[in-house]
Amino acid sequence: MTLPLQTDRIKDSLMTQQLPTDCILKWAKERSNEVYLRQIINRQFVDFTYAEVADKALRLVSALRAQGFQPGDRIALMSKNCAEWFITDLALMLGSYISVPIFPTAGPETVEHCLTHSESKALLIGKLDDSKAINTVLAGMPDLFTVNFDYPSAPKCQYGFNEFIAKYKPSEERPNHQPNDIMSIVYTSGTSGLPKGAMLSYGAFSWSVQRLVDHIGMQDGERLFSYLPLAHITERVYIFGSSVIAGMQVAFPESLDTFIDDVKMHRPTLFISVPRLWTLFQQRILEKLPQGKLNILLKIPFVSGVIKRKLADGLGLNKARVLGCGSAPISPALLRWYENVGLKITEAWGMTESFAYSTLNHPFRSDKIGTVGNAGPGIEVKVSDNEEILVRGMGLFSGYYKNEEATAKMFDSDGWLHTGDIGSIDDEGYLTIQGRINDTFKTAKGKFVSPVPIEKRIFELANIELMCVIGSGLPAPILLAIPHQFQNFDRERYEKTAKRVIDTINKELESHAKIKGVLMIEDPWSVENGILTPTLKIKRHVLEKKYHDIGSHWPKDKLVQWEDNLS
């Protein structure tokens, strides 16, 4: 599939850009016996060399051809991170198929939408925490061709992966992809309804990866760790893409339960996470070493260095040269906390439509914590008159699959991508995100409120795991908060802290934006209960609907309420 939309944006330099297919074949020839992928199984590494990865990928091409699948056919892939995910993705490229990655935590409605909307003809399924959703969908799609990776948690399909490819010799076909050819259809997280299918071209993908590799200065001997969903663009570009283009080793965790031990086994030199996990790592540290004691130890010169080394070693990050964070807003206070214990986290910003490569705070600058960095090489960023962030470069998507109307809204006549984020740029070009245009809500008083700056300020003042300010159609905004459940958790004390924080921030806000109440949420938000997207973003519209009645009838004399006391 080739689309004309990107033709005038793709420069001559893309014609000479090395594609993932070129690179894996080159590494298989030049570094055939070097270990590329390391899958942890039963607490041991199962290694795949470059030659073995290329061999399995080419066998899969032959196996799919034998089933009648032709170049351009959409083939879906649903699995947690594993070596076979990389192998399959490379095979789909080598066979000129269009891959359709699906989040392994997606619900039945989302899975069915991705499969039917993309018109996928086959589905490869791997490691899953729960196979109920996919089994429900497959029961209604008996004609869909399926293959399962050989893991206990993968649902039984028509073929097992190893059995399927063993019958065939490696394909001798070699693709001749043009920069505008579509490589993949990636469905966005869908914070406001069903996800849209962003079409990603070979040229834009490879250009973005190469710029990232050059900017970070990835070197021989780097070790990557792949655990964030590969269906999300960040992991696909920063980990999968850079590993293939630059030839870097990647390891995969065995399970969530063994995650920290798995990181320790591999000791990555580049490690990317999301705000939620960085918060959980902090909690784990503070449970063993309370903040008061940590502060005292960090003030002692000799002891301070020992503590910092032990903390990094305990997370398996003592060899990490670059630490990253993206996908959702992170509290500057949390980044400061990590910097104080010797771990400098580079915050980055991008979106599926820009291949997750737009801005990043690299090289790390402490004075720019709170921003998401400046534009990466080859990227232009500006803020429009209505404060919307616009991006331009060669690493932009080719439009939404079967949705020309939505595509047209994303680009202006000068090729600028309209991101839907609002923000500001300082005099050194560093970007600060202030929220989404669509996040702004109007209260019952007819006044507009932008919740993200309020949430950021609360994050700086309070120890709250997750929060969301809602207020559409309400008399005044209310804060939904999930408190940290520390040992010996004292509700009364926590409530007093919450009141102090809200009193502080309300003094800083205009009258129509002041927080009227805080609702302490009973059940944690998750992907499973439909509050979080697979990339752990909060579905604000879902919370607006769920808690509208509570917000409408908030008692005048009560600032804090606990949800489990309302039922």
DSSP 43-83: TEEEEEEHHHHHHHHHHHHHHHHHTT--TT-EEEEE-SS-H
Q: How many domains does the chain have?
A: 2
pLDDT-based confidence at 62, cuts 50/70/90? very high
pLDDT of residue 13: 53
Q: 292 lies in a domain?
A: no
Between the alpha carbon of residue 28 and those of residues 23, 55, 57, 61, 561, the distances in Å are: 8, 9, 11, 16, 61
How far apart CA 415 and CA 8 sit, in angstroms, is 9
What does the pLDDT look like over 433-478, one tens digit per residue?
887 887 888 888 788 888 888 988 888 888 677 889 999 889 999 9
The tokens for 46 are 């199962």
468 is a domain residue: yes
pLDDT at 327 over 80: no
Residue 75, C-beta contacts closer than 8 angstroms, at least 6 positions apart? 64, 69, 92, 97, 98, 99, 100, 120, 121, 122, 123, 124
Residue among 335, 60, 352 nearest 231 (CA): 352
Per-residue pLDDT, averaged over 37-63, amounts to 97
Q: Would you say residue 484 lies in a domain?
A: yes
Q: Say which residue the tokens 């008996």 belong to.
A: 142
Burial bucket for residue 168 (CB in 10 Å: 0-12, 13-18, 19+): middle
pTM: 0.85
Report pLDDT digits (tens) over 329-356.
788 888 999 999 999 999 999 999 999 9
Q: Is residue 263 part of a domain?
A: no
Judge whether 179 lies within some domain. Answer: yes
Query: Do the beta carbons of residue 520 and residue 561 sit within 8 Å?
Result: yes
What is the average per-residue pLDDT within 533-546? 84
- What is the predicted pLDDT for the residue at 486? 65
**Which neighbouring-strand residues pair with 374?**
360, 430
Query: Is 356 within the bounds of a domain?
Result: no
pLDDT band at 186 (very low <50, low <70, confident <90, very high): very high
Is residue 247 in a domain? no
Model confidence at 408: pLDDT above 90: yes
What's the domain range around 530? 440-565
Check pLDDT > 80 for residue 7.
Answer: no
Report the range of poorest mean pLDDT among 49-58, 208-217, 312-321, 505-514: 505-514
Question: Any idea what the CATH number is for the domain that residue 553 is in?
Answer: 3.30.300.30
pLDDT over 50 at 2, yes or no: no
Last residue in a domain, options 153, 182, 216: 216
Domain CATH code at residue 133: 3.40.50.12780
Residues present in the chain in total: 567
Tell me the mean pLDDT in the region 527-543.
Answer: 83
Pick the closest to residue 75 from 111, 143, 124 (CA basis). Answer: 124
Region 365-386: mean pLDDT is: 95
Last residue of a domain, one of 216, 236, 257: 216
Last residue of a domain, one of 216, 241, 257: 216
Q: Indicate the pLDDT class of residue 17, thresholds 50, 70 and 90.
A: confident
Percent above pLDDT 70 for the chain:
95
Q: Is residue 239 part of a domain?
A: no
Question: Is the pLDDT assigned to residue 5 strictly greater than 50?
Answer: no
pLDDT at 1 over 80: no
